[in-house]
Amino acid sequence: MLLLALVFGGAAVFMSQSYLERQAEKRARTIEVSAPAVAASTVVVAAKPLNFGAEIVRDALKEVAWPAEAVPAGAFRTVAELYAQQGRRVALVAIEANEPILPAKISGPGQRATLSSVIEEGMKAVTVKVDEVNGVAGFVLPGDRVDVLLTRHQGEGDAITEVLVERARVLAVDQSFDQRAEKPAVPKAVTLEVHSGVAQKVAFASSVGTISLVLRRAGEALADNQKNTRVRAATVSVSRATKRQEYGVRSEVE
């Protein structure tokens, strides 16, 4: 009897285990069939970093798998599609490795990388003269955002500083468009991208006062309450022995 009980008990355990395994496999197949398949596509990306003006050669491109629903608008699906039209293409902006190649980032076939090709619609490029002081000591580089300040003298010793433009994009420093420049250099001129209605104002401001640039933190929003700063002249008397001399001292008043 004991032997029969052991036999029947072992058979019951074996059958139960087999049943559970079959149910687990069935559930796995059900889940696998019911899970929606993610549609895939391909996108042409940069195989290596490309500087502004770099020629878009085939060795600098590659095709990678990309979720079909997340393909960027206008992206090229194949390298052959990008080269469907004959002609040399160049980068209009700095493109990082594995970044999708979009039509807005490269020139048309046979076109050159010029400053006019990177100006946004409704904007204009205006160049202002700067030096080591009002040019942020040469730390402004293409792609940065700056505020443009105008300082005008009023009367004897009085001056006022006002904000002409906020968050203007730096297009070029002297004649360099390279956004990957790392070494600061003191420029003589900076070209800015501003709205069409502001370009004339900035150009005229150079003739009536001193233009200064203020470097903005990346991603910084516009200020809500910009105030002009007025600088007034004051006189301080200093007596040395029998001599008395006056010095002009500026004080700021908002």
Shared domain check, 197 and 100: no
The answer to the question of residue 21 being in a domain is no
Q: Residue 79 is part of a domain; what is its CATH number?
A: 3.90.1210.10
Question: Domain boundary at 68, 84, 113, which?
Answer: 113
Shared domain check, 164 and 218: yes
pLDDT of residue 61: 93
DSSP 146-207: EEEEEEEEETTTEEEEEEEEEEEEEEEETTB--TT--S----SEEEEEEEHHHHHHHHHHHH
Shared domain check, 198 and 133: yes
The number of domains in the chain is 2
Question: DSSP 3-state assignment of 245?
Answer: strand
Shared domain check, 220 and 122: yes
Shared domain check, 174 and 159: yes
The owner of tokens 């600088």 is: 231
Q: Is 146 exposed, middle or buried (0-12, 13-18, 19+ CB in 10 A)?
A: buried
Sign of CA dihedral 133, 137, 140, 141: positive
pLDDT of residue 206: 81
pLDDT of residue 130: 80
The answer to the question of residue 203 being in a domain is yes
Question: Domain boundary at 58, 89, 113, which?
Answer: 113
Cα–Cα distance between 61 and 34 in angstroms, integer? 37
Amino acid at 248: G
- Look up residue 50 and give its two tokens: 């490309």
Question: Domain boundary at 77, 98, 113, which?
Answer: 113
Shared domain check, 99 and 83: yes
The answer to the question of residue 211 being in a domain is yes
Sign of CA dihedral 231, 237, 240, 244: positive
Cα–Cα distance between 64 and 42 in angstroms, integer? 5
pLDDT of residue 223: 55
Shared domain check, 47 and 84: yes
The answer to the question of residue 17 being in a domain is no
Shared domain check, 132 and 103: no
Q: Are 82 and 25 in contact (CB under 8 A)?
A: no
Distance of CA 45 to the CA centre of its chain: 18
Instruction: Kindly compute the dihedral angle of the four CA atoms of residues 40, 46, 48, 52, in this order, to the nearest 10 degrees.
Output: -160
pLDDT of residue 200: 86
Shared domain check, 137 and 102: no
Shared domain check, 221 and 121: yes
Q: pLDDT means per 10 residues in the chain (254 residues)?
A: 53 60 68 60 92 87 91 91 84 88 83 73 87 67 87 77 88 71 70 88 85 81 50 41 47 46
The answer to the question of residue 104 being in a domain is yes
Shared domain check, 123 and 109: no
Cα–Cα distance between 145 and 150 in angstroms, integer? 17
The answer to the question of residue 32 being in a domain is no
Provide the 10 A C-beta neighbour count for residue 220: 12
Domain around 193: 117-225
Shared domain check, 187 and 121: yes
Cα–Cα distance between 156 and 158 in angstroms, integer? 6
pLDDT of residue 77: 92
